[in-house]
Structure 1
Amino acid sequence: MWVQLRRSARTHVASVKGVAWTLFLFTYTDYKTIFFPVTAFACVAAPVQSYTRLLHGVIWIWLNLLQCNSSNQYKSAEEDALNRPWRPLPSGRISRSQASKLRWSLVPICIGFSACYGWDVVLANAFLTLTTIMYDELGFAGHWLGKNFCNIFGYVTFEIGATKIIGTSTALDYTAMISILYSALVIFTTIQTQDFPDVIGDSALGRVTIPIKYPEASRKFTFVAMIAWSVFFSSTWALGTLSSLIFCVLGAYVGSRIYLLRTVQDDKRSYVIYNVWLLIAHLLPAQTRWNVLPF
């Protein structure tokens, strides 16, 4: 009897671990692009009310990220088979039917969790869900303009919802609002960085991303945009001389890599470094809040 119980317990533990790992894989690629940058941004823009509210904000971000990713990967299993075969669907960890059930079950879960923090957070969640539907079900992901629109709208709603949960008040002050505006513009003008490594897979599926539509111009534009935003943020947030120099050098390095180094592996590496730059950019409003970078 005890042997059977131990076996049953091991089976249940293994099953829970398997489910947890599958959910983690759904969200893995967006920890560096959304989870950490949005969390860092909300901590600075809010600012943080308490560790408890920070934890609540992190859970809200992750649940909505899981909703977006399960929807996107359910609709793009063919692309993932080419670009990211380790993801849950192409690797066979979950079936298409199960992914669909997960995707739609997360809608009421996310709305219910958002309702704990007020109707403004529910509204942010509703817009995020709508953006996800536009991106996947309505086919906005297939064209660069629709894709960029959904990216910017989704990113902004992530930031608004997280900032309202983590902060001392659901009302956004001037620093928070202007930070969200700058974030939206940065995402709109530089998010094509994520598409450079996926040109082969996107082309095979008939998608029209910016790097496919404008292969040379997109790299030149990104190079200029990275430098311009680095200089602009250094000035706008009144960074010290050394801090400005380091941030601008990093931005120029990312832009130079994107323009000069064009293999798939180079583009993947550039995208990782771009996300480091983006994370730092989201932390810069801390200079306005607390004057932490006067040097």
Structure 2
Amino acid sequence: MSALTSFESNQKSNNIGPQLKNADTSITKDRSILFHLKTLYLFTKSDLKPVIVPQAVFALAMMFSGSKLGVPVTNQLTTAYISTRVLLMFAWLWIQLLVVDISNQRSPESVAEDAINKPWRPLPSKRISMEEAQHMLRILVPAVVAISVAMGNFTPCSIIMVLAWLYNDLGAGSASLLQRNVINAVAISCFGWGALIVLFHLEGTAATLLRNWTILTATVILTTVHAQDFPDMPGDRARDRKTIPLVYGEGWTRAGLAILIPLWSIACLVFWNIKSPVAWIPTLLVGSAMSLMTMVRREYSYDKIVWKLWCLWMTQLYLLPIFSART
């Protein structure tokens, strides 16, 4: 099961009522507060690094590049303010991710696949039932929306909630490759957008530069996120799941990714008018290594490395505003 976000995941079944009624009843009964906290953590465990870390870096890089965006620079803010806003940012990112992950992992198909690939997740490990997961969502969704309203970032939250509903409940994830990839890119960008608003309360006042950067990074994700599909090809082929490598051919898809990675690297460096080799060299090195490995090493173990390099590469791109020579 792919691990960028829960938007890029299992196909959804709309008729789960019978399965819920006939579900295995061997659910863990001995539950404490720590048990429930661990359950919530396990829902999001596999997406903490590929989702929360890069999007937090995206927002923090903007925070430490405030003068280029027309927002308060960090030396004008108190340590207490910065610390509080950063903690709130991580909390906001996590509760959004929790809703998305529960929504995605609760389908019978997801539980069956996770029983093989990620048996430690709450549903396949029988920590909670699918019915309980649905009940959690009925509580969490309005709570998360209310918290987002209080934090001043209702818009990105509402977009994430709608996209999760479209993907997991209305079958957009299996409708077409284009719909799935667009939903992935927009959702991930909304995580970063919302995190930034928590830091700076930029709702409705974000600079044109910030908007353009968000659009650019969303486009980068849209056109390269299929790097995660290569290590999953055997399982996807067995389940007849439509992914870019399987639909358009592995060779063409690898070649396209190998070309796009260095092009997007240069485009992002130029966007921020970066002169420093400290930014240019690592970004191009990681991108080049990923492109080369994608074409030369067509093996499962190396495809997993390529996916990890993609996550590192995106994090590097998110850090670029710090090195900007813009004034």
TM bucket (normalised to shorter chain) is: 0.7 to 0.9
The match for 1:158 among 185, 191, 216 is 191
1:108, distance to aligned residue in structure 2 (A): 0.6
SS in structure 2 at match of 1:51 = helix
Query: Contact (CA 8 Å) 2:157, 2:190: kept in 1 or not?
Result: yes
Q: Deviation string for 1:60-82 (max 9, x for gaps)?
A: 11000011111111132233234
Judged with a 3 Å threshold, the aligned counterparts in structure 2 of structure 1 residues 108 and 273 are, in CA distance, closer, same or farther, namely same
| 2-structure distance, mates of 1:73, 1:200 | 21
Normalising by structure 1, we get a TM-score of 0.86
CA positional deviation for 1:151: 0.2
Name the amino acid aligned to 1:38. Q
Report the counterpart of residue 6 of structure 1 in structure 2.
none
State whether residues 279 and 320 of structure 2, in contact with CA within 8 Å, keep that contact through their aligned partners in structure 1: no
Which deviates the most, 51-60 or 231-240?
231-240
| Identity value in percent | 29
Aligned-residue offset at 1:190: 0.8
Look up the match of 1:109.
143
Matching residue of 1:276: 312
Write the deviation string for residues 102-122 of structure 1: whole angstroms up to 9, x where unpaired: 23322111101001123xx11
Q: Which amino acid aligns with 2:38?
A: W
| Offset, 1:168 | 5.5
1:202 to 222, 236, 240: 236
Paired residues of 2:228 and 2:307 also in contact (CA < 8 A): yes
Q: Which residue of 1 aligns with 2:321?
A: 285
Relative distance call for 1:257 and 1:22 in structure 2 (3 A) is farther
Paired with 2:162 and 2:43, the residues of 1 have a C-alpha distance of 20
CA contact (8 A) 2:172 2:179 kept: yes
Report the CA distance between 1:218 and its aligned residue: 1.4
d(CA) in 2 for partners of 1:204, 1:95: 27
Correspondence list, 1:175-214, <5 A: 175-214=209-248
- Please name the residue that 1:5 is paired with: none
1:186-233 Cα deviation digits (max 9, x unpaired): 110111112222223333333211122122211111111111112222
- Show the counterpart of 2:256: 221
User: How many angstroms apart in 2 are the aligned matches of 1:169 and 1:278?
Assistant: 23
1:248 alignment counterpart: 284
* Distance apart, 1:175 and its partner CA: 3.1
Which secondary structure does the structure 2 equivalent of 1:88 belong to? coil
2:88 aligned partner, one-letter code: H
Matched, 1:39 2:56: yes
How far does residue 184 in structure 1 lie from its aligned partner after superposition? 0.4
- In the superposition, relative to structure 1, how do residues 211 and 25 fare at CA in structure 2: closer, same or farther (>3 Å)? farther
The size of the alignment, in residue pairs, is: 278
Give how far 1:242 is off: 4.5
**Higher mean displacement: 135-144 or 261-270:** 261-270
SS at match of 1:91: coil
Q: Quick one: higher RCO (CA 8 Å, sep 6+), 1 or 2?
A: 2
Instruction: Give the direction of change, closer, same or farther, for the CA distance of 1:243–1:126 in structure 2 (3 Å limit).
Output: closer
Matched with 2:45 is 28
Shift of 1:155: 1.2
Give, as a single letter, the amino acid of the residue that structure 2 aligns with 1:186. Answer: V
Q: Residue 71 of structure 1 contacts residue 136 of structure 1 at CA under 8 Å; is this kept in 2? A: yes
- Alpha-carbon RMSD across the aligned residues, in angstroms, is 2.3
Tell me whether 188-197 or 127-136 shows the greater mean CA deviation: 188-197
Higher helix share: 1
How does the TM-score come out when normalised to structure 2? Answer: 0.78
Q: How far apart, CA to CA, are the structure 2 residues paired with 1:141 and 1:260?
A: 31
Is contact 2:265-2:284 (8 Å) kept?
A: yes
Residues 136-168 of structure 1: CA distance to partner in whole angstroms, max 9, x if unpaired? 111122232221011011112212211111115
3-state SS, counterpart of residue 90 of structure 1: coil
Contact 1:45 1:175 (C-alpha < 8 Å) held by counterparts = no
Task: Answer whether contact 1:57 1:166 (CA < 8 A) is retained.
Answer: yes
In structure 1, what is the equivalent of residue 26 of structure 2? Answer: none
Contact 1:135 1:147 in 2 (8 A): yes
1:127–1:168: structure 2 CA closer, same or farther, 3 Å change rule? closer
Unpaired runs of at least 5, structure 1: 1-10
User: Structure 1 186/205 Cα, relative in aligned 2: closer, same or farther at 3 Å?
Assistant: same
Give, as a single letter, the amino acid of the residue that structure 2 aligns with 1:236.
F
8 Å CA contact 1:60–1:114 kept in 2: the answer is yes
